[in-house]
Structure 1
Amino acid sequence: MQSLALAAADEGGFQAPTISETHLPEIFPWMAEWGTGFGKNMLMALLAVFVISWFFMWAIRKQALVPSRTQFIAESAYGFVRHTLGRDILGEKHFKPWVPFLFAIFFFVLVNNLFGAVPGLQMPTFSHAGPAYAMALIVWFAWVVLGFKLHGGKFIKLVTVPSGVPKFLLPLLVPIEFLSNFVIRPLTHSLRLMAVMLAGHIIVMLAGSGAEFMITQQEGLGSTGLGVLILIGSIPLYFLELIMMVLQAFVFALLTAIYIQGSIEAEAH
C-alpha cells in the first residue's frame, strides 16, 4: 500500500495525509535527540488554562442576583458538573470536595478538544497520545491515592479480589483484576479519548486535502465540481466531530467520577 501511495505521488496523483503530518515541528525544541520540546500541543494546553480561567472569572465578576447571560451560562456549566458528574455519581455525602477536580477535568478536556474546530488551531490537543496519557495518569493517581487514604493497604485487596468468588478461582482472577485496574484502566481511559480525537482530525484533513487536490490539481469542470461536493460533504463531518469533542470530554469526566466513586465505595464491593 505504501509503495502504491508513493507511486501515485510521483505521478502527480493524490497522496492522502498521514498521521505523521499531524505532528507539527516543535516551536522550541530543547531535546532534539529525543524529538521533543515546546510544541503546539503544549501551547494549546496553556491556552486552554487561560481561556477557562478568563471566561469563568469574567462571567462571575459582578455576581449579580439576577445573572447576566454570560453569568447564567457559567453558572449552568458549573451546575452541570456539580450535579451530573458530582452529586449523581459520588453521592450527596462525598461529592463536594471533588467538584473542583471534576470541573477542571471536564472543561480542560472540552476546551482542548474544541480547539480542533477553531480555524488556525484546528488540532485537538488530545489527538496525540502524550497529553491523553498525562490526563489519564492524573486521574489514575487520584484514584489510587484516595483508595489508600480511605482503606489503607487493604485497598489493593478490595479492587483485585472479587467478592463471592470460589477460592480456587482466585489465582486466575486476581492477576486479571490487577492488570485490569492498575494497568489497562489508565490505558483505555487515555486511548479512548486520543483515538476518537485523532480519527476526527484525520477525517477533516483527508476531506480538506482531497477537495484541494480536486479543485487545484485536476483539470476539468467535473473535478472542480467534485472538489466542491467534497467540501460541502465535509460540513456534516465537521459538526459530527464537534459533537464527538463534547461527548468525549463528558465521557472522560464521567469515567473519572466513576473511578473516584469506586475508591470511596470499595469497602462495599
Structure 2
Amino acid sequence: MKGEFHPPNLDQEFFPGEYYGDIIFNEFANGWFALDRFMLIRLLMAALLVVIFAVAMRNPKLVPSGLQNVVEYALDFVRVHIAEDILGKKEGRRFLPVIATIFFAVLFMNIPAIIPGMNVSPNSRIGMPIALAALGYVTMIYAGAKRYGFGKFIKSSVVIPNIPPALHILVVPIEFFSTFIMRPVTLALRLMANFLAGHLILVLLFSATNFFVWQMNGWTLMGGVTQLVAVLFTVYECIIIFLQAYIFALLVAVYIELSLNADAH
C-alpha cells in the first residue's frame, strides 16, 4: 500500500498571525475585519443558532410540535435545571435570557469540533471563551450591585465578618482575587482548554492512523486501532460538547447567586 503521510500543523489555526493564507479581508481596514477559518466557523454557527430560534418561534403554537417543540424543550431544560435550580423561580426567570444565551452559544460553538470539514471548536481559541466569560462576569457584578449598591456589594464580597481585624490584610486581597479575577479567568480557560485538548488528541489519533497506514505498511493493523480509538474519542467529545455548555452556564448561575447573597458571606 503506497501513500503519503502529512504531519499535522496547528500553526495555521491557533497562531494565525504567522499565516495569512486562509484569512480573507486581511487588507481591508488594516485587517480589523479579517476573517480566518475560526472566525468563519463562529459566524456560521452564530447565524445557524439565530436561524433555528427564529424559525422555531416565528409562529409559536400553544401545543408545540417539530422544531418549536425541540427548542422549547431545550429552553425548559436551561430554565428548570440551571436557572431555577440555582437561583429559584423568581431570580431564575429574571436572569434566564443571559444564562440561556450563554448555554446555547457555548453549545453551538462546541458542535463544530465533530463536524467533518470543520473539525475544530471555535471555543478552542481563547477569544470566544473570553467574550462569554465577560458576559457572565458583567451579569454577576450587575446582580450584586443592583441589589446592594456597588460599594456595599464589593465590600460584602471581599470582607468576611467576625474575623480578627489583622486578618483582613490577608483575607481581603485573597477574596478579591478569587471573586473578581479568578472566576472569569477560570471560566474562559476551562472552556478553551477542554476543546483545545480534545482537538489536539483527535489530530494526533487521526495523524497516527495516517502514518501507520500510509508510511508504515507493516503497522496497518495499528492504524486500525488508532482509527477505532479516534472514533470512540469523537463519541466522547459529543458528551463533552453538551457537558461544557452545561457547566459554563451552571457556573455563571452560581456566580450570580453568590452575588445576590453577598451579605450572607
Aligning the two structures, in what range does the TM-score lie when normalised by the shorter sequence? 0.7 to 0.9
Say whether residues 1:89 and 2:89 are aligned partners: no
Aligned residues: 255
For normalisation by structure 2, the TM-score amounts to 0.87
Q: 1:232 matched to which residue of 2? A: 228
C-alpha distance in 2, partners of 1:235/1:225?
A: 16
C-alpha distance in 1, partners of 2:66/2:101?
A: 22
Q: 1:156 to 1:88 in 2, by over 3 A?
A: same
Superposition map of 1:26-65 within 5 A: 26-29=23-26, 37-65=34-62
How much does 1:250 deviate? 0.6
Q: 1:173 matched to which residue of 2? A: 171
Q: 1:168 to 1:18 in 2, by over 3 A?
A: farther
Q: 1:244 matched to which residue of 2? A: 240
C-alpha distance in 1, partners of 2:113/2:232?
A: 15
Picking from 159, 175, 192, the partner of 1:194 is 192
Deviates more, 1:184-193 or 1:36-45: 36-45
C-alpha distance in 2, partners of 1:113/1:30?
A: 30
Q: 1:108 matched to which residue of 2? A: 105
Task: Check conservation: 2:213, 2:219, Cα contact below 8 A.
Answer: yes
Picking from 129, 151, 154, the partner of 1:132 is 129
Deviation by residue 1:184-241 (Cα, 9 ceiling, x = unmatched)? 111111101111110001011111111111111223xx32222122112211111111
For normalisation by structure 1, the TM-score amounts to 0.86
Q: 1:256 matched to which residue of 2? A: 252
Deviates more, 1:23-32 or 1:167-176: 23-32
Deviates more, 1:27-36 or 1:108-117: 27-36
Task: Check conservation: 1:136, 1:186, Cα contact below 8 A.
Answer: yes
Picking from 158, 161, 175, the partner of 1:163 is 161
Deviation by residue 1:108-151 (Cα, 9 ceiling, x = unmatched)? 10010011111111110110112212221221122123322222
Picking from 11, 20, 26, the partner of 1:20 is 11
SS at the partner of 1:29?
A: coil
C-alpha distance in 2, partners of 1:22/1:47?
A: 17
User: Which stretches in structure 1 are left out of the alignment for 5+ residues?
Assistant: 1-12
Deviates more, 1:205-214 or 1:133-142: 133-142
C-alpha distance in 1, partners of 2:62/2:32?
A: 52
C-alpha distance in 2, partners of 1:103/1:110?
A: 10
How much does 1:27 deviate? 3.0
C-alpha distance in 2, partners of 1:52/1:179?
A: 35
Q: What amino acid sits opposite 2:248 in the alignment? A: F
C-alpha distance in 1, partners of 2:91/2:130?
A: 27
SS at the partner of 2:94?
A: helix
C-alpha distance in 2, partners of 1:30/1:81?
A: 42
Q: 1:213 to 1:111 in 2, by over 3 A?
A: same
Superposition map of 1:203-242 within 5 A: 203-219=201-217, 222-242=218-238
User: Which stretches in structure 2 are left out of the alignment for 5+ residues?
Assistant: 17-21
Deviation by residue 1:59-86 (Cα, 9 ceiling, x = unmatched)? 2344233322332211110101111111
Task: Check conservation: 1:161, 1:173, Cα contact below 8 A.
Answer: yes
C-alpha distance in 2, partners of 1:241/1:32?
A: 38
Greater RCO (CA < 8 Å, at least 6 residues apart) = 2
How much does 1:41 deviate? 2.3
